[in-house]
Amino acid sequence: MNFGPLPSVEAAAVPAEGLVLDVRENDEWAAGHVEGALHVPMSDFVARFGEVTEAVADGRTAYVMCRVGGRSAQVTQYLVGQGIDAVNVTGGMQAWEGAGRPMVTDHGNPAFVL
């Protein structure tokens, strides 16, 4: 079965108001993340799928991100299969940081990619 190419976008091209769906684990999120992102770790994804469908209920695109793009590609493929407009962020948080995009932490510490 061929699903065709996975929709993807460079980190620098994610719109500032875009819905970023971060599927990294809690320690990675704590080190640094995109402000306003929805954090649903891949390990909790099925159990918390309702949070994702609620966030995109108004037709928003989900920009799915992990550290380098592997986990987010799997989640993006799943979401697209569910009829959700989802795009994998190529290169993940490493590319986001490399593009000079802003990152935050929940405690005000300097943000970095773990």
pTM recorded for the entire structure:
0.93
Average pLDDT per 10 consecutive residues for the chain, totaling 114 residues: 77 95 97 97 95 94 97 96 96 97 94 95
Q: Report the pLDDT value the prediction gives residue 5, as an integer from 0 to 100.
A: 81
Is 67 considered catalytic here?
no
Q: How far apart are CA 26 and CA 8, in angstroms?
A: 24
Q: What is the pLDDT of residue 3?
A: 54
The kind and range of the H/E element at 90 are strand 86-90
pLDDT at 1: 45
Q: Which of 66, 95, 111, 113 is catalytic?
A: 66
d(C-alpha 89, C-alpha 114), whole Å = 17
Query: Phi and psi for 46 in degrees, rounded to 5?
Result: -65, -45
